[in-house]
Amino acid sequence: MRADRLVAVLLLMQSRGRVTAAELAAELEVSVATARRDLEALSAAGVPVYPQAGRGGGWSLLGGARTDLSGLTAGEAEALFLLAGPAAAATPEVKSALRKLVRALPRTFRDDAEAAADAMVIDPTGWGERDPDRPELVRVLQSATVRRRRVRLGYEGRSGERTHRLVDPWGLVDKDDVWYLIAGTEAGQRTFRVDRIAEAEVTELTFERPEGFVLSEAWGKVVAEMERRRSLLSATVLIAERFLPVLRHQFGRHCEVERVEEDGRVRARVAAPMALSIAEQLAGWGATVEVVEPEEVRAQLARIGSELVERYRA
């Protein structure tokens, strides 16, 4: 049983007094069988929970007790705080929640949990840069998402043309310091880059998320589609083995090794949306990388090379 789910189960039981496996499954987005196993695991671990059969039955904390989360093992407590600790360093709300959770832990685990929470710091700011601030627009959209309020957006597309639309903000995602809004529109689910939102007006119109919507799953589908688009065209290249890590870093998951040739060079495939995209990324390699095929990528490289020779001939 995962430590984060264990905590969620206990907090739900404390707030509701009694829950059924079906209610727990719906809240935690797991199967009823998994929820039932979680409850049985809590009971087996010594947490004072018990089932009551019959109509109106369910699982309750013994005597309505307020548990101290003693179902957490030392390893689970450590893992939980190692996971949340770095986030707490940047988010006051999470830091406050962790302090409350520390006080709820049994004394046996408290010192280790506090040490784990302070064992690692993630500093996203580069040398010489200012601390990154969460855009104010993100806070506005986050509030609208939590309050279930529709938002009128003025959105600028890639062409710079601004459109206006009324959306249901379902969730926000931060990917590599770029924020995205996943929202419902008249045309269905859409993804908006927050830095392209020119204006946002929160209305008093309410909405409900679609049944079964899970933000992480929705974002996973967005990522999968973007990666598919980014790999529409592939090229076969030859490169010295010692440079392969750099090529992999440049193309990420769109670089696959095929084999090692007789001359010791590595044969690999790299991918991008179009031939020009691949050529632009490989042009800086000069003769270090040889493109075997397709011809359209080779032609783009030849064109880029000719332009550079012409520009810098003198």
Q: Which CATH number covers residue 47?
A: 1.10.10.10
DSSP 71: T
Asked if 83 and 52 sit in the same domain, the reply is no
Position 283 in a domain: yes
Q: Where is average pLDDT lowest: 41-45, 245-249, 295-299?
A: 41-45
Position 146 in a domain: yes
**What secondary structure does DSSP assign to 137-168, as a single string?**
HHHHHHHHHHHTEEEEEEEE-TTS-EEEEEEE
Tokens of 300: 């783009």
Distance, in Å, from the CA atom of 232 to the CA atom of 227, rounded to the nearest integer, reads 9
Asked if 52 and 106 sit in the same domain, the reply is no
Position 30 in a domain: yes
pLDDT tens figures, 195-230:
999 999 999 999 998 888 888 888 888 888 888 887
What's the pTM value of the predicted model, to 2 decimals?
0.51
**Domains held by the chain: number:** 4
Position 182 in a domain: yes
Of the residues 148, 183, 214, which one is the last residue of a structural domain?
A: 214
Average pLDDT, the chain: 79
pLDDT tens figures, 230-280:
778 999 999 999 999 999 999 988 899 999 999 999 999 999 989 999 999
Asked if 46 and 84 sit in the same domain, the reply is no
**For residue 172, what are the domain limits?**
136-214
> Is the separation of the CB atoms in 234 and 269 below 8 Å?
yes
> Is the separation of the CB atoms in 153 and 140 below 8 Å?
no
Mean pLDDT of all residues in 91-102? 57
Helix (H) or strand (E) holding 54: none
Residue 78, pLDDT > 90, answer no
Backbone angles phi, psi at 127, to 5 degrees: -60, 130
